[in-house]
A and B are shown apart, each in its own frame.
Chain A
Amino acid sequence: DAKTTQPNSMESNEEEPVHLPCNHSTISGTDYIHWYRQLPSQGPEYVIHGLTSNVNNRMASLAIAEDRKSSTLILHRATLRDAAVYYCILSGKAAGNKLTFGGGTRVLVKP
């Protein structure tokens, strides 16, 4: 399975943007990039996914590098509720489309 590399932790101030990087240099051409987050004492929840183009939804934006070897999840205005572990995951048909979670980035939001 293609692997992702994320920083262990990041800190942000409330109402400021947060940029979460993810490296996936072994991504294949058909792999999708997914982001999930896990709030304390909860199961993971979907954030966003993309293939090649940048994506936006109500929760976040996903910026994908032109060579697709890295991506960045952008939380535009962090709130205390955004404190969570954020997982960058690749999924593709070669691996049965299963989501293989890595270590994730723990985001701390300071008031």
Chain B
Amino acid sequence: KAGVTQTPRYLIKTRGQQVTLSCSPISGHRSVSWYQQTPGQGLQFLFEYFSETQRNKGNFPGRFSGRQFSNSRSEMNVSTLELGDSALYLCASSLRGWTDTTRELFFGEGSRLTVL
């Protein structure tokens, strides 16, 4: 069974631009979460979507947004990029949604964004 697929794997942007990252969850998984990983802050939760609705949100500014489509694929968007947005963005999918405390997350390999 195919794992979580994230595209693109690497990208370079300049300050002020915007970026869209894509995540295809494991087939049958309806929940998609997004995380930002940086050397200084570690892994930080961005948001979670289930059945096309945002269910959980982390402490990030409004420049960070996301959406989920009817086929459970998800995209996240970062507008007006700043140097500090350089990070590895990880997507995770799960079979069960945010109400299940024991659910297992399956992570993709991430999209590495560099902002110049």
Contact = CB atoms under 8 A, between A and B. Distances in A.
Interface string A90-111: 0111001111111110000000
Interface of B: 4, 33, 35, 42-45, 48, 55-56, 58, 90, 92, 98-110
A44 interface: yes
Interface in A7-41: 30-32, 36, 41
Consensus secondary structure, chain A interface? loop
A96 B98 contact: yes
21 contacts: A32-B101, A42-B107, A43-B90, A43-B107, A44-B92, A44-B105, A44-B107, A45-B106, A87-B43, A91-B101, A93-B99, A96-B98, A98-B33, A98-B45, A98-B48, A99-B33, A101-B35, A101-B42, A101-B44, A102-B42, A103-B42
Interface residues of A, number: 24
Among all A-B residue pairs, the 5 with the closest Cβ atoms: A43-B107, A101-B43, A96-B56, A46-B104, A98-B56
A68 interface: no
A99 B105 contact: yes
